[in-house]
Protein backbone atom coordinates (compact mmCIF):
# COMPACT_ATOMS: atom_id res chain seq x y z
CA UNK A 1 0.00 0.00 0.00
CA UNK A 2 1.34 3.38 -1.02
CA UNK A 3 1.06 6.15 1.56
CA UNK A 4 2.49 9.65 1.92
CA UNK A 5 2.45 11.86 5.00
CA UNK A 6 3.37 15.52 5.29
CA UNK A 7 4.93 17.03 8.39
CA UNK A 8 6.12 20.46 9.38
CA UNK A 9 5.22 23.53 11.41
CA UNK A 10 1.61 24.62 11.60
CA UNK A 11 2.58 28.26 12.11
CA UNK A 12 5.41 30.31 10.64
CA UNK A 13 6.15 34.01 10.84
CA UNK A 14 6.40 36.29 7.82
CA UNK A 15 9.89 36.29 6.23
CA UNK A 16 10.74 32.93 7.82
CA UNK A 17 11.68 29.82 5.85
CA UNK A 18 9.23 26.91 5.79
CA UNK A 19 10.55 23.36 5.76
CA UNK A 20 8.13 20.53 5.03
CA UNK A 21 8.88 16.82 4.96
CA UNK A 22 7.01 14.16 3.00
CA UNK A 23 7.55 10.65 4.35
CA UNK A 24 6.32 7.90 2.10
CA UNK A 25 6.04 4.13 1.99
CA UNK A 26 5.04 1.48 -0.52
CA UNK A 27 7.35 2.67 -3.29
CA UNK A 28 10.94 3.79 -3.74
CA UNK A 29 12.14 7.05 -5.23
CA UNK A 30 15.09 5.14 -6.65
CA UNK A 31 12.73 3.21 -8.95
CA UNK A 32 12.79 4.46 -12.51
CA UNK A 33 9.87 6.74 -13.27
CA UNK A 34 8.87 7.57 -9.72
CA UNK A 35 8.29 11.21 -8.78
CA UNK A 36 7.05 13.17 -5.76
CA UNK A 37 5.51 16.63 -5.99
CA UNK A 38 4.40 19.31 -3.58
CA UNK A 39 1.04 20.95 -4.21
CA UNK A 40 -0.73 23.56 -2.08
CA UNK A 41 -4.25 24.82 -1.63
CA UNK A 42 -5.13 28.10 0.12
CA UNK A 43 -8.36 27.94 2.14
CA UNK A 44 -11.35 27.84 -0.21
CA UNK A 45 -9.16 28.10 -3.31
CA UNK A 46 -7.80 25.90 -6.06
CA UNK A 47 -4.79 23.62 -6.13
CA UNK A 48 -1.37 24.97 -7.10
CA UNK A 49 1.56 22.75 -8.08
CA UNK A 50 4.86 23.83 -6.53
CA UNK A 51 7.68 21.42 -7.29
CA UNK A 52 8.59 17.91 -8.40
CA UNK A 53 11.60 15.67 -7.87
CA UNK A 54 12.13 12.47 -9.77
CA UNK A 55 14.00 9.21 -9.27
CA UNK A 56 17.00 10.60 -11.17
CA UNK A 57 17.15 13.66 -8.88
CA UNK A 58 15.86 15.99 -11.61
CA UNK A 59 13.93 18.88 -10.11
CA UNK A 60 11.19 21.08 -11.56
CA UNK A 61 9.62 24.17 -10.06
CA UNK A 62 6.60 26.41 -10.49
CA UNK A 63 7.65 29.32 -12.66
CA UNK A 64 6.17 31.90 -10.29
CA UNK A 65 7.74 30.45 -7.13
CA UNK A 66 11.00 28.90 -8.29
CA UNK A 67 13.21 31.54 -6.71
CA UNK A 68 11.81 30.64 -3.28
CA UNK A 69 11.61 26.83 -3.50
CA UNK A 70 14.07 24.01 -3.04
CA UNK A 71 13.09 20.34 -3.27
CA UNK A 72 15.33 17.48 -2.24
CA UNK A 73 15.12 13.79 -1.44
CA UNK A 74 16.64 11.29 0.95
CA UNK A 75 16.06 7.95 -0.73
CA UNK A 76 17.34 5.95 2.22
CA UNK A 77 14.76 7.57 4.51
CA UNK A 78 11.95 7.62 1.92
CA UNK A 79 11.59 11.35 2.38
CA UNK A 80 11.20 14.43 0.20
CA UNK A 81 11.81 17.86 1.68
CA UNK A 82 10.51 21.20 0.42
CA UNK A 83 11.85 24.52 1.63
CA UNK A 84 10.12 27.79 0.86
CA UNK A 85 11.86 31.02 1.77
CA UNK A 86 10.49 34.43 2.69
CA UNK A 87 7.05 33.23 3.77
CA UNK A 88 4.13 35.64 3.49
CA UNK A 89 0.54 35.47 4.75
CA UNK A 90 -0.59 34.70 1.17
CA UNK A 91 1.34 31.42 1.50
CA UNK A 92 -1.16 30.24 4.11
CA UNK A 93 -2.45 26.95 2.71
CA UNK A 94 -2.74 23.22 3.06
CA UNK A 95 0.41 21.69 1.60
CA UNK A 96 0.17 18.24 0.02
CA UNK A 97 2.77 15.85 -1.27
CA UNK A 98 1.73 13.48 -4.02
CA UNK A 99 3.25 10.69 -6.09
CA UNK A 100 3.33 10.51 -9.85
CA UNK A 101 5.07 8.35 -12.41
CA UNK A 102 6.86 9.63 -15.49
CA UNK A 103 5.04 8.06 -18.40
CA UNK A 104 5.60 10.81 -20.93
CA UNK A 105 1.88 11.64 -20.78
CA UNK A 106 -0.13 13.43 -18.09
CA UNK A 107 1.96 12.00 -15.25
CA UNK A 108 -1.04 12.45 -12.97
CA UNK A 109 -0.82 12.51 -9.19
CA UNK A 110 -2.19 9.11 -8.26
CA UNK A 111 -1.57 9.01 -4.49
CA UNK A 112 -1.78 12.03 -2.15
CA UNK A 113 -0.92 12.64 1.46
CA UNK A 114 -3.60 14.00 3.78
CA UNK A 115 -2.03 17.45 3.73
CA UNK A 116 -0.65 19.74 6.39
CA UNK A 117 -2.07 23.19 7.10
CA UNK A 118 0.47 25.99 7.34
CA UNK A 119 -0.52 29.43 8.60
CA UNK A 120 1.73 32.42 8.08
CA UNK A 121 1.16 35.05 10.73
CA UNK A 122 3.11 37.20 13.12
Partner 1 sequence: EIVLTQSPATLSLSPGERATLSCRASQSVSSYLAWYQQKPGQAPRLLIYDASNRATGIPARFSGSGSGTDFTLTISSLEPEDFAVYYCQQRSNWLFTFGPGTKVDIK
Give the interface with partner 1 as residue ranges (CB under 8 A). Answer: 37, 46-49, 52, 60, 62-63, 96, 98, 105-110, 112-115
Q: Which is nearer to partner 1, 37 or 78 (CB)?
A: 37
Q: Which is nearer to partner 1, 15 or 31 (CB)?
A: 31
Length of the chain: 122
Q: Is the dihedral of CA 13, 18, 23, 24 positive or negative?
A: positive
Q: Which is nearer to partner 1, 10 or 105 (CB)?
A: 105
CB of 15 to partner 1, least distance (A): 27
Nearest by Cα to 115 from 100, 96, 98:
96
Torsion angles phi and psi, residue 5, rounded to 5 = -140, 130
Amino acid sequence: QVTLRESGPALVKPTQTLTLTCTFSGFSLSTSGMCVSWIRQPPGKALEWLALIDWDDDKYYSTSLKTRLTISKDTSKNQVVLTMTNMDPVDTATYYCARSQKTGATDAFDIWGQGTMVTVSS
